[in-house]
Amino acid sequence: MNKIEHIGIAVKDIHASNELFSKLLNTQPYKTEEVESEGVITSFFMIGETKIELLQATKPDSAIAKFIEKKGEGIHHIAFGVDNADFEIGRLQNEGFEMIHQHAKPGADNKMIAFAHPKCTNGVLTEVCSERP
C-alpha cells in the first residue's frame, strides 16, 4: 500500500456537506460525481496528498443509505492507494483477509476499487484503489 488515498464520509445531504467541509477545510471540492452502480453521489476535497470523499446515497438500498440508517453520518471507510487493486485483493486474501469484492470494479475518481470486510480489519471498512487502466 502506497498511501492513504482518501477517507470516505457518509452524508445525508451532499450540498449542505459540501458547504460545511468547504468552510472546515478552507477549500472547494474539486469534483462531484455520481456512481450509479453504487447508488451514490460523491464529492472530493484535496488536502495535501489525501482526499476527503463525501458520499450521499441516491438509492434507499445502497450501502451508504444502509450505513447512515444504522450508524448515522460519519466516517464510512479508509481507502489506501495501491499500484494494482486486483493484485492487492489476492495479496490480502493470501494473508487471510476476507474481501467483499473478489475483483476490482470501477469506482469514483477514475479508480478501480475493492473492499476488505470490516469484521477482519477491527471494524474498519478498508478500501484498496488504483488508477483505472
pLDDT digits (tens, 9 = 90+) for 89-118: 999 999 999 999 999 999 999 999 999 999
Average pLDDT over residues 67-92: 97
The CA-to-CA distance between both ends of the chain, in Å, stands at 18
Residues contacting 87, CB < 8 A, separation 6+? none
pLDDT at 133: 85
DSSP 47-80: ETTEEEEEEEESSTTSHHHHHHHHH-SEEEEEEE
pLDDT at 1: 85
- Which residues in 31-62 are b (16+ Cβ under 10 Å) and which e? eeeebeebbbbbbbbeeeeebbbbbbbbeeeb
Q: How far is CA 69 from the centre of its chain?
A: 18
CB 45 within 8 A of CB 27: yes
Residues contacting 100, CB < 8 A, separation 6+? 114, 115, 116, 117
pLDDT at 29 over 90: yes
Q: What percent of the chain has pLDDT over 70?
A: 100
Report yes or no on whether pTM surpasses 0.85: yes
pLDDT at 123: 95
Cell of 119: 469484521
Cell of 129: 484503489
pLDDT at 9 over 90: yes
